[in-house]
A and B are shown apart, each in its own frame.
Chain A
């Protein structure tokens, strides 16, 4: 990696007009291609055939602008380019590329539009296109929202095709043959006599000619990679301990740093005494940072020891100090009736009567990826370099430019492989703290590593949320369902407060996964309430749907039980979207739903449509003498096209485990303004001994492609809640379930 940054100078301009997929609006700024960021650093004989393909004498490098935090993004992006470029994954390098507006993410807008994802009608598509245009103008290079594949599915294949056809045109000029006589395979143009010209040998010529942008994509019947099992490009390294992560960054003269920031997040430092720390072995400097203190030392452990030896008096938290006050704030918000949005209001819930009422809660949750937050920053007189694993390189570049007074062009953000994220790396506080330290250590690279405790205490968590539901049943059917949900706003906290990025209108994450479910309940209302600022919050794997999937489906299961109906049959009756229905039919068939179970076993089912992907799950548990065991989970997800079935299965199973682990074991609670949990002994998710067997099926019943990083999470908790209800007679109302129910 990092090869691009070392290449010397501009020689070649591409027209990447063919990359402008999606809806073309009539205004110039949107249609104008972004400059190709690879052009800035190109050496002679190097061709950057689109912003996604770089070829030089060393080989072919595919630029994979969506960051890899473990989801296999590099591999899947490389495969999409390679499908049209005719290279194999063992022949190419991948590079996440520099921060650039050219790598805008258009698909991320899809979750913010007021149309259900199953609505592909004109108005909905136009709105999505418009939102995509806005995001392009802002150049949001973001990895998130399960958008890597939907965003890249066409764009990256077009990039591969443009590169291939341009290389063929170059070969035609060099050989004097017609383009139609040329073929491509395994990284070479093949002449009619079988002679192969490797792409590397064509790079110089390709750099001289106009790129061929009039290309057609191959039909799916000709795909050689997409849809077939692949070996991920990072798998050998990750199977041999040779994969390098941000935390492994090492440079000549680098120093190691640790920080402690006020665990009352956003609170001030009243005073500190670093006398002891300054005298400890290896300590070079104590540096105040925003809201805390930092230590520069010659070794990570010495920095940790020293920063812990600093006596600090912390200021109060800018939010309620005790957890009970947070819950009260949610209840008060609903009681006050201050509605943020009513995105669904079908029929007349008020006239339909009420037969069932419920109140459910979902706790704060930390992201806690296994690799703690870290960043290495070097500040010099004329540039800043940042090496880190994060999903928002453009925003990080802007933040660092502002802090250092540099032009954004002089801030170079190098994205490194991430040891997990789950949304944590959509934040860049660690880069800001590292930059503060590096500004005080000008000319010296500073690697800041968060202690695990710091990582947990400073985490911007999933919001807490409270749901109040009421509903009615009649004649064995669900006839009415109203869900009121209150939570603090992710948009206020993450985008407005920390990134300075205005987000007008309702916060759609508050009702995400609630209002757009494909059910035709005749009286059906969803109301979102935006709580005042509480603990700072952020996007956590599946965002609003992570708690709302639990709320919606647990309550729907309660209503279906009240109606005396079967939870699979009643859902199928209510469902309006055929691909969604097929996911539910699939898990019913896979699990043998409705069959006889042993006396101490029980099953539950749930469904959630999130990030455009319908996902259904059935779980089977044993209620034994020592507690509840999670035995088996059957899961089906509709994504339009499974790009790599092996990685798909792993991601889906991981999402289920993520959903289950936090549903039963984990929460973050506040006392005295601080999170009470700080390490994996009190916040762990699921471990091997609790993990169920998982059976996964990918569904392909649609003509558009959606992602799968997050959608398996929301149905896991409510499916389990239903199974627990059937096993014990008591329906869980609050996560984590382990507070109330015993698990093996």
Chain B
């Protein structure tokens, strides 16, 4: 068996794949956080809970309505996005004129409510969610065995990230978003309904989190706490990347995911803290983050 730096090659490739998968979720979630933060100046602590809600929506659709994976990929983000729209209209929008820390505290409270309710209803244990038939099984790539669903997640998340980036960089709606991020009042003075844009943006960000949740359901088990531990890592990712750049958030997500995977191969004891260590180093060397601007 071939080895690389004394590590069997299949083990190395396997961990890189796991790193890519984790990185896909870091990228998807930090992308949504960055989009919301850019316009609303709110750090959405409920992002992890919305990811969990997306996974649960898929689980419930399947088990109570017989609706499978593919429709859930569309429906779950719509449902969670709709909930987010209501939250923005009734609660978050009252906080825009005061210290952004209150937005963080509000969404933290909402995250606790969602997680607590789902734990109360479904218990803390994870629930299995089978990948769709078209994506089950695996293929032998010669140098490693690739479960098809995992390959799909990497490709799908890349497509979603690039799609979101194109939406923001190349469309009229994206131009409104970018302009409003710079100067919301002026954009509204041009006749754009900025309050509605804020609502939509929050809904979009939450929908992205939910979409990530559906993608994650067959890989990690569906559990009420699946989002809260993830979101803290994503916060570290966001601190490393800086929230000034959408592309920066995406790239940082994938890179840190792979680095975490590699750490698992070479020094497994440190794999759960490596991202935080990288965050600390970045703070020492470049406090604004790799892609951030000093504010």
Chains A and B are bound partners: no
